[in-house]
Amino acid sequence: MEITKKIHLLKIDFSVQITPEKVLPRFVNSLIIFGDSITIIDSGVKDSYVAIYDYIEKHSRKISEIKTLIISHSHPDHIGSASRIKKDTGCKVIGHLNEKDWIENIDLQYKSRPVPGFYNLVEESVMLDSVLLGGEELTLDENVNAQIINTPGHSKGSFSILFKEDLVLFTADSLPVENDIPTYDNFKELKNTIQKIKLISNYKTLLSSWTEPLNNKTEILSLIEKGNQYLDRLDRAIKKYYVDKETTSLENCTKVIEALGLPLIFVVPLVDRAFRTHL
Ligand SMILES: [Zn+2]
């Protein structure tokens, strides 16, 4: 989908195998930036390179023109095809310092953050060629300057990208979406990030990994505020039900999910992990 002449968004459907019987349908958005060369932002899951390559070729461009792959954070649906794309094109892979260990060692990531069906989503680790700290302005092409804005909380090195000429803000997974599966790393940081993103005003279109493109300021603010209120509702339920903090069972997690009327498929160690960051 063409967002601006240069910035395109590709929605990639995939599914997460929660248990042998339960499958959670998901999607993730990758960005493809057509300049003199091609920049990819986020590589989707393991097989997403096929859809990315197809999209590029349908726009009469070549895979060999991919020079840069920026990874918004280390999670499997963002790095899934990274190693493949790097091998195929020799592109430079760029990620945040705070995500480097989990991008370069997916086994380490899986041990700390057990996404169900993890190895069905990500092919292999990938080495970063360049590391971001946040605050940089990257020139991706003529008239494509990308400001890197640290927006941690969903993960420790999550960042958003402001495309200054095209007036597009891409927040990746940095904003929680109301009633979606809670999978953040740090509740307090996420609350701060929501306020930080709310104050960014010099853009017209909001893109994220989990939402349709938004061009209307009222709709954008509503998305942000609903995510914020969702976190507050979760916080109240977590403070109420996580009384026995030591238990390793998912009993407390189940109570929170039920209290908010969320799907029981969300009761997984990954969500329990996010809830414990409220305590
Ligand atoms: Zn993520």
Q: How far is the CA of 98 from the centre of ligand 1 (A)?
A: 14
Q: Is the pLDDT of residue 18 over 90?
A: no
Helices (H), 176-216: 187-199
Residue 246 has pLDDT above 80, yes or no: no
CA distances from residue 234 to 150, 155, 229, 231 in whole angstroms, order as listed? 24, 18, 9, 5
CB 163 within 8 A of CB 146: yes
Q: What is the DSSP string of 34-101?
A: ESSSEEEE---STTHHHHHHHHHHHTT--GGGEEEEE-SS-SHHHHTTHHHHHHHH--EEEEEGGGHH
pLDDT range class, residue 54, cuts 50, 70, 90: very high
CATH, range 7-228: 3.60.15.10
pLDDT in tens, 122-179: 989 999 999 999 999 999 999 999 999 999 999 999 999 999 999 999 999 999 999 9
For 116-126, what is the mean pLDDT? 94
Whether 22 has a pLDDT exceeding 90, the answer reads no
Instruction: Please say whether the beta carbons of 231 and 191 come within 8 A.
Output: yes
**Cα 154 to averaged position of ligand 1 atoms, centre (Å):** 6
- Could you tell me the two tokens for 263? 């799907």
Report how far ligand 1's centroid is from the alpha carbon of 60 (Å). 31
pLDDT band at 76 (very low <50, low <70, confident <90, very high): very high
Distance from the alpha carbon of residue 100 to the mean position of ligand 1, in angstroms: 14
pLDDT tier at 21, thresholds 50, 70, 90: confident
- At residue 227 the predicted structure's pLDDT band, cuts being 50, 70 and 90, is very high
CA of 173 to the centre of ligand 1 (A): 5
User: What pLDDT score does 104 carry?
Assistant: 98
Q: How far is the CA of 193 from the centre of ligand 1 (A)?
A: 14
pLDDT over 90 (residue 61):
yes
User: Rounded to the nearest whole angstrom, what is the distance from the C-alpha of residue 106 to the centroid of ligand 1?
Assistant: 14
- The total of other beta-carbon atoms located within 10 Å of residue 17's CB is 14
Q: How far is the CA of 41 from the centre of ligand 1 (A)?
A: 13
Element housing 252 (H / E):
helix 251-259
Among 38-42, 81-85, 141-145, the least confident range: 141-145
Residue 97 pLDDT class (50, 70, 90 cuts): very high
Separation of CA 72 and ligand 1 centre (Å): 9
272: how many CB neighbours lie within 10 A of its CB?
A: 22
Is the pLDDT at 271 greater than 90, yes or no? Answer: yes
d(CA 51, CA 110) in angstroms, rounded, equals 25
How much is the pLDDT for 253?
A: 95
What spacing in Å lies between the alpha carbon of 89 and ligand 1's midpoint? Answer: 25
Per-residue model confidence (pLDDT) at position 39: 98
Residue 264 has pLDDT above 90, yes or no: yes
State the distance from the centre of ligand 1 to the C-alpha of 172, rounded, in angstroms: 8
Domain edges within the chain: 7-228
How far does residue 74's CA lie from ligand 1's centre (Å)?
A: 7
Smallest Cα–Cα separation from 38: which of 76, 73, 90?
90
The upper half-sphere exposure of residue 114, i.e. CA atoms within 13 Å in the direction of its Cβ, equals 10
